[in-house]
Amino acid sequence: MEKIDVGIIGTGWCGGIRAQTAASSPLVAGVHLAEIDRIRLKELAEQTGAVTATTDYHDLVADDRIDALMISATPETTHYPMAKAALEAGKHVLLEKPLALTLEEGDELIELAERQGVKFTVGYSQRFNTKQAMVKRSIEDGTLGEPVSALISRHITRRLGDKIGGRIVLSPAAMEATHDIDFLLWCLQPARPVRVYAQAVERVMKEKYGTSDCMSIVVTMDSGVVLTVAAGWILPPGYPNFSTTWMEIVGTEGALLLDDSHRDIVLNTMSEGMTLPLSTMPGEQVRHVYAGPMEQETLYFLDAVVFDRDVLVRPREARQAMEVYLAADLSAERNAPVDLPLSRDEEEPALVAGTV
């Protein structure tokens, strides 16, 4: 078996997890890091024993030793140029969501990856959440019968809302509901979304960042199934990067009610009061084990590259999710349902105004 060299661009929260996971994988010969924060770069280079540590990601793109790049930089305006450069250089790419900021950019990346014959996937980490994997299985193996409806409610803390809102104007649909839209569309394949109706509430985040606090999105599939996704980012702190999710998946023969609210572990200390550990979306390392989906997602990508297997999140699926959340933004803005596919002049994101 041939080992690969892997580069990580942007080693903040997610990139840190990707880098640590790659460094401990027996499939990886060398880890290479690009990060503009020199302190973080040094810290992670020491932790991972990185072969290369640079502040210029072009160094990794140009490095012929590197087979695959994982792109975890922010703000999200970096995703398209970084992925384009990596794919043009013939690297396999794992790109954190969002795929791009416009469908046009997304299409360009997808076509480029196909032309280059490389693996290209998008970080929809929740597909690797074990509870959610069970939803997919229960639909696929017929346990629930024919799908009827699905409801997902997802909330994250205001600290994360502030982190995201402080770097770019993207909506809760584009940044949070996107996980659930991707997940439900994947579960319900080959059905396709045909109509989106969304409403947004603006009480906390609008003045600070020009974005909404939460969005409720209804998606009608061509099979008649109706999906409801509600997502927001103004919860008070419960734990660093706390997230809480609830799902109801109803079919003709059964229902799956899924509690991922993370209320199963309560840590109470004199200094912090009550907190809910292990409650982030990507998960975290707990001594010798990883709790959460992002480690497995990273390993799956490395496997796909080394053993020439399919990626789990195909880029065209990420594009479909993107079209639905762009339609949700448009629907909230117009206060009216939006039919899919979007026409060319509707494809520009409603809320994106670049970095702030």
Ligand X SMILES: NC(=O)c1ccc[n+]([C@@H]2O[C@H](COP(=O)([O-])OP(=O)(O)OC[C@H]3O[C@@H](n4cnc5c(N)ncnc54)[C@H](O)[C@@H]3O)[C@@H](O)[C@H]2O)c1
Long-range residue pairs from 305-312, CB within 8 A, at least 24 positions apart, any chain? 305/4, 305/67, 305/68, 305/92, 305/119, 306/1, 306/2, 306/3, 306/4, 306/27, 311/119, 311/120, 311/121, 312/121, 312/127, 312/128
233 with 161: CB under 8 angstroms? yes
Q: Tell me whether residue 9 or residue 86 sits nearer to ligand X (CB atom).
A: 9
Cis peptide bond N-terminal to 81, omega within 30: no
Q: Tell me whether residue 96 or residue 347 sits nearer to ligand X (CB atom).
A: 96
183 with 127: CB under 8 angstroms? yes
What is the distance between the alpha carbons of residues 233 and 179, in angstroms, rounded to a whole number?
A: 14
Q: Tell me whether residue 166 or residue 224 sits nearer to ligand X (CB atom).
A: 166
Cis peptide bond N-terminal to 172, omega within 30: no
CA distances from 145 to 133, 139, 246, 250, 252 (A): 17, 7, 21, 9, 5
Minimum distance from residue 98 beta carbon to ligand X (Å) = 6
Q: Tell me whether residue 190 or residue 354 sits nearer to ligand X (CB atom).
A: 354
Minimum distance from residue 13 beta carbon to ligand X (Å) = 3
Minimum distance from residue 178 beta carbon to ligand X (Å) = 9
Coil, strand, or helix at residue 223? coil
Q: Which residue is nearest to ligand X (CB)?
A: 12
CA distances from 32 to 65, 67, 68 (A): 10, 11, 10
Minimum distance from residue 45 beta carbon to ligand X (Å) = 13
Minimum distance from residue 312 beta carbon to ligand X (Å) = 13
Minimum distance from residue 117 beta carbon to ligand X (Å) = 26
* Tokens standing for residue 139: 């639909």
Q: Tell me whether residue 120 or residue 197 sits nearer to ligand X (CB atom).
A: 120
Q: Tell me whether residue 74 or residue 320 sits nearer to ligand X (CB atom).
A: 74
73 exposure class (CB count in 10 Å sphere: 0-12, 13-18, 19+)? buried
Minimum distance from residue 222 beta carbon to ligand X (Å) = 28
Q: Tell me whether residue 92 or residue 154 sits nearer to ligand X (CB atom).
A: 154
* Interface residue list for ligand X (CB under 6 A): 9-15, 34-37, 40, 57, 72-74, 76, 78, 96-97, 123, 125, 281-282
